[in-house]
Amino acid sequence: MIQSMLAPVAEMGRAGMFLMRMLGGVRLEWRLLQSTMQQLFLIGARSLVIIMICGFFVGMVLALQSINALQQFGASDQVSLLVGKSLFRELGPVLTALLFAGRAGTSIAAEIGLMKATSQIDAMELMAIDPVRRIALPRFLAGLLAVPLLTAMFNALAIMGAVIYSVGVAGLDVGVFWTKLQTGVFFHKDFLGGVYKSIVFGGIVSLVAVWYGFSARPTGAGVGTATTNTVVVSSVLVLIFDFIMTSFLT
């Protein structure tokens, strides 16, 4: 009973030690940079299309809902303020992290899990190559870098979606839209806060993905479990850390 309650704590400890082992392997060398760039393409650039489509529609629906609600007070001019603040502070970082967990986190966990199931990791260790440094670290670093950039693109597309809806469909003034944004959305409080969040979320999602890949049971079912756990655990952690970070940042 107590054993099963303490198991998650031990798991967290192992994951923390894994993170330390990974960060201990950071060296300024050409090969690490090269493999990180390669992973950045595989997990970052390949996630771009889905992030942009989702961002665009999130922006449109935000504008639609906000205009509907604000019209009751005759304040539909404020729509860009509402859209901008909620995007930069909350929706951009969180939704991007959740999408990234589904799109890239799963593929990382499945790939590493399959490497383990086919004994590629063991073979590396036999050849005295550190698999944590060679496999896990570039993926972790790429995830850390990719999520803030993807968040920025998500936000950019969402703002565009909001402009298109509120100007093109709802008939608001373009100038008012941008002016409200440029006077009401604060660079330090709103924008940078979101950037810090997205960096932390990137670290969380890629650490969880890499960790579940490495701790997967080397069977087909084990790979499946690792993929599922990655999505579940990283989504929960992202939302928990979102609350913690928001309470510190505001």
* CB of residue 191 to another protein, shortest distance in Å: 5
**Three-state helix/strand/coil letters over 16-77:** HHHHHHHHHCCCCCHHHHHHHHHHHHHHHHHHHHHHHHHHHHHHHHHHHHHHHHHHCCCCHH
Query: Which of 59, 105, 131, 148 forms a contact with another protein (CB under 8 A)?
Result: 148
| Residue 34 makes contact with another protein by CB under 8 A | yes
Query: Which of 178, 220, 240, 246 forms a contact with another protein (CB under 8 A)?
Result: 178
| DSSP codes joined into one string, 77-116 | GGHHHHHHHHIIIIIHHHHHHHHHIIIIIHHHHHHHHHHH
98 close to 198: Cβ distance less than 8 angstroms: no
Tokens found for residue 179: 């002016």
* CB of residue 151 to another protein, shortest distance in Å: 9
Close Cβ partners of 89 (under 8 Å, ≥ 6 residues apart) = 190, 193, 194, 246
* CB of residue 178 to another protein, shortest distance in Å: 7
Close Cβ partners of 237 (under 8 Å, ≥ 6 residues apart) = 204, 208
* CB of residue 19 to another protein, shortest distance in Å: 24
Query: Which of 27, 31, 41, 174 forms a contact with another protein (CB under 8 A)?
Result: 41
**Binding flags for another protein, 82-101, as an x/- string (CB under 8 A):** --x---x-------------
| Residue 174 makes contact with another protein by CB under 8 A | no
Give residues 195-234 in contact with another protein (rule: CB under 8 A): 195
Query: Which of 25, 184, 203, 224 forms a contact with another protein (CB under 8 A)?
Result: 184
| Residue 183 makes contact with another protein by CB under 8 A | yes
112 close to 216: Cβ distance less than 8 angstroms: yes
* CB of residue 42 to another protein, shortest distance in Å: 8
Q: Which C-beta is closer to another protein: that of 37 or that of 170?
A: 37
134 close to 31: Cβ distance less than 8 angstroms: no
d(CA 106, CA 14): 20
* CB of residue 4 to another protein, shortest distance in Å: 43
Among the residue ranges 7-15, 40-48, 98-106, 119-127, the one whose residues contact another protein (CB under 8 A): 40-48
**Binding flags for another protein, 151-170, as an x/- string (CB under 8 A):** -xx-xx--x-----------
Closest by CA position to 138, among listed 111, 119, 157: 111
Task: Based on DSSP, count helices (H) and strands (E) in the chain, helices before strands.
Answer: 12, 0
Contact residues: another protein, CB under 8 A: 34, 37-38, 40-42, 44-45, 48, 84, 88, 145-146, 148-150, 152-153, 155-156, 159, 178, 181-187, 190-191, 195
